[in-house]
Structure 1
Amino acid sequence: MPEQEIPRVSMTAEEIEAANLGAAPKLNSQITLREHDPQWSAAFERETVRMKERLGHLDHWIEHVGSTSVPGLPAKPIIDMLLIVPDSGDEASYVPALEALGYELAIREPEWYEHRVLRRYDIDPSADSVNLHVLSTGCPENRRMLRFRDRLRRHSGDRELYADTKRALARQSWEYMQNYADAKSEVVAGIIERAMADDD
């Protein structure tokens, strides 16, 4: 049975620090965006092959999400991936297998769908790192993330709106990367609402 939707709200500095395992990396600067690089998709495909080999014991699904998954969209050089597993709270079922590939568990949010983020650095000359988001099968956020990506791929108007928003916000200085992400939330919510309406 699908989980009840849990709204994502802007995080305070205390909440950001609490979610991070260890000190949350501070930005205290502007955001560096790059024009879309086709190598991002190639890097995603390579990482997917490596993960599937390690996660063969577990029912799972891997998707390329975030701005690097949308041709024509500027993005931070960070590959966002979504790993869907039966129970994201069951870290023992997937974290050791991913640690063997060089991933480290970086974020744990039990109150928000048992969301986890693992990171790996130096994956490709085109990308600084991978943010691997882990959520459970049936989690409503999975559908939202995928519909958002698909809407941006198909709809040039929303893609341009999001690109303009990103560029404007990137020129500001942010204490944490999460603050920049939260500042986009109203525009993101509107795009997701339109994407969901397309499905109805």
Structure 2
Amino acid sequence: MDEWWDVVDAGGGATGTTFRRGDSGWPVGSFHLVVTVCVHRADGTVLVTQRAPTKEFAYGWEFPGGSALAGESGSAAACRELREETSLDVAPDALQWVGRFTEDSALVDLFIVREPAGSTVRPAPAEVMAWKWLPASEVVELRKSGVMADPWGPRLDAMWPAAMATIRSGGAPAVVQLEAHRDSWETDYQREASRLVAALGDRVLAVEHIGGTAIPGLEAKPVIDIAVRVAVDTDPLALGPLLAATGYTQHRSGLRNHGVYTRERDDGARTHILHAFASDQWDECNQRLFRDKLLSDPTAVARYREVKTRAARSSDGRAYTAAKRQVVQQLLDEERAARGLASVTAWDKEALGSHRRPSTEGL
């Protein structure tokens, strides 16, 4: 039977076209949705399965999953794949979305779900040759041993810390916590900017405070977002070695059109996000335009505050971002129009190596 996929854009939005698996001519710059499910128990173990010998990446260990079919939501696809591969039957509303990793032509969503009561794993021989319950803390060691299916190395690097946090919390989804604006955020930014200039030297042409913490009076997540404009001969995606001594590491949750580096506390809580832009991106950088819109237009702040606070009260991180997207796009469109700039999508993930599309990641 033919397997058809929905073709989506970098943000997961429908393009209105489908693609048959196995055909040639995949549309460049497009994606399809892949889902995977981490089933966990109260004792902290998770279900891992070994791919059948007849499948691509034969004998590799992984979490159950596969491609979403045309017309199928991510959660519905996750439930179907889990049922087909292991016979475990869960409802879509039992799933918790953990994160998304962007590959060359796929958006990979990781879900977590508690093992259904009274269930038994009965693997489909055509899909799974072996399975086991593994302490969640040992998943990284499994990845390091080289026995995971090839795609799982980068996926785990990007998404497993968030998965572990959810498992340790007993499966409770993360809720976005906004804090009242603090004057200390600007002081923190100034201190961090000095450190970054010292580390990057003449490779950086400008440093600015962006994101919610840059807007006086606006509630925000207590994470300082910083934008830097790098010199013409500097690659914004290759600053990792220069930033290592400052505690920043490159963020690899997907392909972006600019460099993203994060700094965390010893307990894993993120404190700073650095966005590095090519010199010719700077004037049309959406983060800067959005910040300027909020700094100059009190009604824009009110519109944005209403949406983000409502979303934060009822959402996890993914739903929070999705809920803000419409108002962010509207405000960006207004600011860009005022400057005589064309409207662009409020999304920055694209093929690695292309540094031209403005973005809003980090707002």
User: Counterpart of 1:47?
Assistant: 192
Query: Quick one: distance in 1 between partners of 2:211 and 2:298?
Result: 16
Superposed, 1:133-172 pairs within 5 Å as 133-139=275-281, 142-172=284-314
* Deviation digits for residues 85-112 of structure 1 (CA, Å, limit 9, x no counterpart): 24223x1xx21121111111122644x4
Do the aligned partners of 1:88 and 1:134 also contact (CA within 8 Å) in 2? yes
In the alignment, is residue 88 of structure 1 matched against residue 236 of structure 2? yes
Say which SS state the counterpart of residue 327 (structure 2) adopts.
Answer: helix
User: Counterpart of 1:9?
Assistant: 11
Runs of 4+, deviation exceeding 3 Å: 10-15, 18-21
User: Counterpart of 1:22?
Assistant: 157
Say which SS state the counterpart of residue 60 (structure 1) adopts.
Answer: strand
Say which SS state the counterpart of residue 326 (structure 2) adopts.
Answer: helix
Stretch deviating more after TM superposition (36-45 or 76-85): 76-85
Which structure shows the higher helix fraction?
1
Change (3 A) 1:155 1:145: same
Query: Quick one: distance in 1 between partners of 2:220 and 2:300?
Result: 15
Query: Quick one: distance in 1 between partners of 2:265 and 2:305?
Result: 26
Query: Structure 2: which 5+ runs fail to align?
Result: 1-8, 14-32, 36-98, 104-154, 167-172, 341-363
Query: Quick one: distance in 1 between partners of 2:100 and 2:176?
Result: 18
User: Counterpart of 2:259?
Assistant: 116
Query: Structure 1: which 5+ runs fail to align?
Result: 1-6
* Deviation digits for residues 65-124 of structure 1 (CA, Å, limit 9, x no counterpart): 1100000111001111112224223x1xx21121111111122644x42x332111249x
Say which SS state the counterpart of residue 159 (structure 1) adopts.
Answer: helix
Do the aligned partners of 1:64 and 1:82 also contact (CA within 8 Å) in 2? yes
Query: Quick one: distance in 2 between partners of 1:10 and 1:44?
Result: 33
* Deviation digits for residues 103-147 of structure 1 (CA, Å, limit 9, x no counterpart): 11122644x42x332111249xxx950011222222278532111
Query: Quick one: distance in 2 between partners of 1:189 and 1:21?
Result: 31
Paired residues, number: 184
Query: Quick one: distance in 1 between partners of 2:283 and 2:254?
Result: 13
The TM-score with structure 2 as length reference comes to 0.46
Query: Quick one: distance in 2 between partners of 1:160 and 1:34?
Result: 16
Per the TM alignment, residue 9 of structure 1 is displaced from its structure 2 partner at its CA by 2.4
Query: Quick one: distance in 1 between partners of 2:218 and 2:333?
Result: 20
Q: Which has the higher contact order (CA 8 A, sep 6+)?
A: 1
User: Counterpart of 1:188?
Assistant: 328
Query: Quick one: distance in 1 between partners of 2:259 and 2:285?
Result: 17
User: Counterpart of 1:65?
Assistant: 210
User: Counterpart of 2:356?
Assistant: none
Change (3 A) 1:45 1:77: same
Do the aligned partners of 2:219 and 2:305 also contact (CA within 8 Å) in 1? yes
User: Counterpart of 2:152?
Assistant: none
Query: Quick one: distance in 1 between partners of 2:219 and 2:326?
Result: 19
Change (3 A) 1:68 1:156: same
From the CA coordinates, give the structure whose radius of gyration is larger. Answer: 2
Change (3 A) 1:79 1:142: farther
Query: Quick one: distance in 1 between partners of 2:193 and 2:156?
Result: 24
